[in-house]
Amino acid sequence: MAKKRGQSQALETLAILEEIYPEAHCALYYRNPWELLVATILSAQCTDVRVNQVTRTLFRKFPDMEAFAAADLLDLEDAVRSTGFFRNKAKGIQGSAKVLLETHGGAVPQTLAELVVLPGVGRKTANVVLGNAFNIPAMVVDTHVGRVSRRLGWTTALTPEAVEQDLCALLPSEKWTMTSHILIFHGRSFCKAPTPLCSTCPLLSRCPRHGVTRSR
């Protein structure tokens, strides 16, 4: 009974957030699954704004997967330098391009298991691609999602994978992808780190940090 009550309260809170952020979406620029994979690899420890600035030029210089695979690694490193950790990112992107061409016929796979074994790809990147490129339910957990979901009492987990498991158990699968976007938007707008804007937050009356959750 307590679990069902927790699910009901979470869905009520999510419904409020859906009204507040109807425009919530993946902020990365991409035209196909491969470009989203590249952009998401670049987004690690980098803002979406910076990544979009870089990929506008990057995707013109390397227009397809074959071009990334054949690129001079130093040229690729230089092209993504401003996103940070550029050597590892360039190596991962080129490695993924080569693996996909050699073992998947140049197609980005549509399963978590196949994606996470690609160079430079972890669960977060894989879930971004699944949810946004293929419309396959996937819960993306970044620092915003982890922080906001803990503050809302939706999880007590500290690791991204454990948070993902808790949120997937709490919410129906058709809500997973959009929930990630919504929590990211809310984390950037109000539930900031280290100091949230609680006094103006539209969820103040429902937040466990500020008393007992009330009905909508």
Tokens describing residue 24 = 């919530």
Where residue 216 falls among pLDDT bands split at 50, 70, 90?
very low
User: What is the per-residue pLDDT for 3?
Assistant: 65
Q: What is the Cα–Cα distance from 213 to 216, expressed in whole angstroms?
A: 9
In the predicted structure, residue 184 carries a pLDDT above the cut 70: yes
Contact indicator for 13, 152 with CB cutoff of 8 Å: yes
Tokens describing residue 150 = 């803990």
Q: Residue with structure tokens 């971004």?
A: 128
Nearest to 114 by CA among 136, 141, 146, 86: 136
Provide the strand spans (E) within 55-141.
none
Q: What is the Cα–Cα distance from 17 to 136, expressed in whole angstroms?
A: 22
User: What is the per-residue pLDDT for 212?
Assistant: 41
User: What is the per-residue pLDDT for 215?
Assistant: 33
Contact indicator for 131, 175 with CB cutoff of 8 Å: no
Where residue 6 falls among pLDDT bands split at 50, 70, 90?
confident
Domains in the chain, ordered, with CATH? 2-25+139-210 (1.10.1670.10), 33-133 (1.10.340.30)
In the predicted structure, residue 192 carries a pLDDT above the cut 90: yes
In the predicted structure, residue 1 carries a pLDDT above the cut 60: no
Query: φ, ψ for residue 208 (rounded to 5)?
Result: -60, -20
> Could you give the percent of the chain with pLDDT greater than 90?
92
Q: What is the pLDDT of residues 65-114, one digit of tens each?
A: 999 999 999 999 999 999 999 999 999 999 999 999 999 999 999 999 99
User: What is the per-residue pLDDT for 208?
Assistant: 87
In the predicted structure, residue 4 carries a pLDDT above the cut 70: no
Which residues contact residue 20 at a Cβ distance below 8 angstroms, ignoring those fewer than 6 apart?
186, 202
In the predicted structure, residue 172 carries a pLDDT above the cut 60: yes
What's the mean pLDDT in 122-141?
A: 98
Q: What is the pLDDT of residues 132-160, one digit of tens each?
A: 999 999 999 999 999 999 999 999 999 99
Q: What is the Cα–Cα distance from 215 to 16, expressed in whole angstroms?
A: 11
Contact indicator for 89, 42 with CB cutoff of 8 Å: yes
Tokens describing residue 41 = 């690899």
- Catalytic residue list: 124, 142
